[in-house]
Amino acid sequence: MEDEAALLRQVFGDSSDDEDYNYGEGNRSEAETYLVTDHRTDLAASGNPRWERVKEISGLWICRDFLSPEQQLSLLSSIRSEGWFAESSLNQAMRFGDFPPWLNELCYSIREAVLIGDNLSEHDIVAADEHGAGCLFPILPPELLGREPLFDQLIVNLYHKGQGICAHVDLMRFDDGIAIISLESPCVMHFSLATSDIQEAEEEYHVHPVPSKVPVYLSPGSLVIMSGEARYGWKHEINRKPGFQVWDGQELEQKRRISLTLRKLARVE
């Protein structure tokens, strides 16, 4: 447990504490109970996804409608059934390999969403290809999309009001190609260069001027894919303190938020 906690701190840094929240049975809403007992939704049954390329950062894509509201409730139910957050003091969980069926289904849905790649403009495809992503699968390179399994490591984080994650690049023990799913409270994730050498970054990424921070709005049910430059060259963070969660000039209301990060352990040569 101590080793796992240390790894979590390495990956995400220290989270700020605010209020305690019991994520046990007593906090299930009527809508969630209804869905869990009678209408469990197939995560792979959603319609064609709509992808957006974050133009400032190569390899950064977001699908805002990856999960419908019903599918989000179903996924929350699956997380609850694992018992990871049964105690109010628990807010992080990790899983390596041998995923439960609901998680295998989620990984399958991610692969399908990337393969479909609906609503991509010609400009998005060409721009992605110019950065080496490949025209056929611009959202995730073929060598990553075709690997088996697509992901074999999961980290689930439960954030209370005001809690976020420090700026970081995921550990090199994990391979390229990372997926992040957001549930419940919306938020803004900020990306910043991992290097302090701006001139070097401008030459490497062919962007002038390089923005100091790139904000990305994460709506509930959204899916973010990071590969290449986005995965290795940019740090990402979420500051949910008052004044930092602003989108379109409006402060976002911050309540409980759950994120699922899916990664693949790098092969040891």
CA distances from 129 to 6, 95, 122, 209, 247 (A): 38, 33, 11, 21, 30
What residue spans define the domains of the chain?
45-123+136-202+210-263
Question: pTM for the whole thing?
Answer: 0.78
pLDDT by residue for the chain (269 residues), tens digit each? 444 444 444 444 444 444 443 455 444 443 333 333 333 344 444 467 889 999 889 999 999 999 999 999 999 999 999 999 998 889 999 999 999 999 999 999 999 999 887 555 555 555 555 554 445 568 999 999 999 999 999 999 999 999 999 999 999 999 999 999 999 999 999 999 987 665 565 556 555 566 678 999 999 999 999 999 999 999 999 999 988 999 999 999 999 999 999 999 998 76
Say which DSSP state 45 is in: G
In this structure, which topology does domain 45-123+136-202+210-263 adopt according to CATH?
A: Jelly Rolls (2.60.120)
State CA 77 to chain mean position distance.
19
Task: Compute the CA torsion angle 154, 65, 213, 151 (nearest 10 deg).
Answer: 20
Give the number of C-alpha atoms closer than 13 A to the C-alpha of residue 24, restricted to the C-beta side.
Answer: 8
147-206 residue pLDDT tens: 999 999 999 999 999 999 999 999 999 999 999 999 999 999 999 998 766 556 555 655
